[in-house]
């Protein structure tokens, strides 16, 4: 066994004094002190040349480290890290490359961060494998959601986020006072006038988006259909369907919200606007090969209209007007749709199966009606969600 931890230097000194005595048996002493002969002779050499100080433990760090990062490089790394405390090795490396500076590997930058105590927490710096899906072009799909509210000095803030699926470009981070449909519509109107209309919007279930699990639409989702925007809902209890927006919320929390307190909505909005610019134009995104979202985003060619024209259905479609209770009549039946369509004209289009009709609003398929059954069943436009359109 090696020297005991307690008063280890004094034990080494005792060993050396005994080993240097007349007629001393060094190997026997090594066995009695529980050390190897190699260790014993090492301490004898150190004691003979340096005295008691030679018995102290010395750092095993080499006198020179040619491969270690120079202080200037470490300063550059830490400067980026101090400006963006949540960024890791891969993002910092890309920023240094963008600035035209010599950049080591991402793993070397991670080690620099660790040496400076800037990389903490379980799993920090570890590589993670993700399975990613994305739409092929900007504006094919926007993901929209509210991040959980947080307290202000005066009131609450409900951050509304709108993210382009392909580029990860953040079109909106809104500091909202509530989560009402009119609040969302006002924010989206400003987004659509600046960036144009998307092909489709993905939201979760429930208000203000509508309740996909029950086949219900909201006034907000009907307004989106009026603009020619498809409306989809994630699977109930599966937030990973909107994984990009969920991940964006984590980043927003880490880089903007953690450790900060805002006076009011205006101050929160100013912080959101400042960070949105950094996120879109400066922050390398690992999900898109460490590019910035701005390099992959383009505005939509579909402008926001000033006026919305009423639906124009083909002559062969069966057009019905929905009453204030969300009901309409068809083939001797009174059927109920969402109240969000009250006053709107919907169309029933015959399919290639007798008695089976597509229930549509404009170009959007809402449900299928099977009049061959006593209970009319409808399939919601999101395929994985079943719902009913029941007779009254």
CATH topology of domain 142-295: Nucleotidyltransferase; domain 5 (3.30.420)
* pLDDT, tens digit (0-9, with 9 covering 90-100), for 58-71: 666 555 555 555 77
Structure tokens at 260: 């900060």
State which of 231-235, 242-246, 272-276 shows the largest mean pLDDT. Answer: 272-276
Question: What is the percent of the chain with per-residue pLDDT over 70, rounded to a whole number?
Answer: 80
Of the candidate ranges 122-126, 188-192, 284-288, 351-355, the one whose mean pLDDT is the lowest:
122-126
Tell me the C-alpha distance between 306 and 85, whole Å. Answer: 43
Burial 34-61 (b: 16+ CB within 10 A, else e): ebeeebbeebbebbeeeeeebbeeeeee
Tell whether the model's pLDDT for residue 303 goes beyond 60. Answer: yes
Structure tokens at 158: 């409900």
Tell whether the model's pLDDT for residue 380 goes beyond 90. Answer: no
3-state helix, strand, coil in the chain (%, to 5): 35, 20, 45
């Amino acid at each position: 066994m090696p020297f005991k931890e307690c008063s280890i230097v004094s034990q080494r000194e005792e060993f050396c004094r005994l080993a240097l005595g007349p007629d001393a048996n060094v190997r026997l002493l090594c066995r009695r002190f529980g050390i190897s002969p190699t260790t014993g002779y090492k301490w004898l050499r150190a004691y003979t040349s340096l005295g008691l100080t030679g018995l102290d433990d010395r750092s095993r760090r080499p006198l020179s480290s040619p491969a270690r990062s120079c202080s200037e490089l470490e300063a550059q790394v830490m400067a980026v890290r101090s400006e963006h405390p949540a960024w890791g090795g891969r993002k910092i490396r890309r920023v240094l490359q963008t600035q035209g500076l010599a950049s080591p590997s991402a793993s070397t930058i991670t080690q620099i961060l660790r040496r400076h105590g800037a990389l903490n927490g379980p799993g920090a710096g570890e590589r993670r494998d993700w399975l990613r899906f994305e739409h092929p072009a900007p504006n094919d799909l926007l993901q929209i959601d509210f991040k959980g509210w947080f307290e202000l000095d005066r009131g609450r803030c409900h951050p509304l986020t709108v993210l382009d699926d392909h580029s990860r470009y953040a079109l909106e981070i809104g500091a909202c006072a509530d989560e009402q449909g009119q609040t969302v519509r006002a924010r989206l109107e400003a987004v659509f006038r600046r960036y144009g209309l998307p092909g489709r919007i993905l939201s979760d279930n429930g208000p203000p988006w509508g309740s996909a699990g029950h086949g219900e639409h909201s006034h907000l989702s009907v307004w989106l259909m009026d603009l020619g925007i498809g409306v989809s809902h994630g699977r109930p209890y599966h937030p990973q369907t909107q994984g990009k927006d969920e991940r964006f919320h984590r980043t927003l929390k880490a880089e903007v919200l953690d450790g900060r307190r805002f006076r009011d909505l205006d101050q929160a909005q100013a912080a959101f606007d400042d960070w949105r610019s950094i996120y879109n134009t400066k922050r390398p995104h690992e999900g898109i090969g460490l590019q910035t979202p701005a390099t992959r985003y383009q505005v939509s060619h579909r402008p926001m209209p000033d006026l919305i024209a009423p639906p124009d259905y083909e002559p062969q479609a069966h057009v019905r007007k929905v009453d204030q209770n969300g009901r309409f009549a068809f083939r001797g039946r009174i059927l109920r749709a969402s109240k969000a369509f009250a006053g709107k004209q919907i169309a029933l289009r015959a399919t290639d199966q007798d008695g089976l009709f597509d229930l549509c609003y404009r170009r959007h398929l809402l449900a299928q009606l099977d009049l061959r059954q006593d209970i009319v069943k409808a399939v919601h436009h999101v395929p994985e969600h079943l719902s009913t359109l029941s007779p009254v």
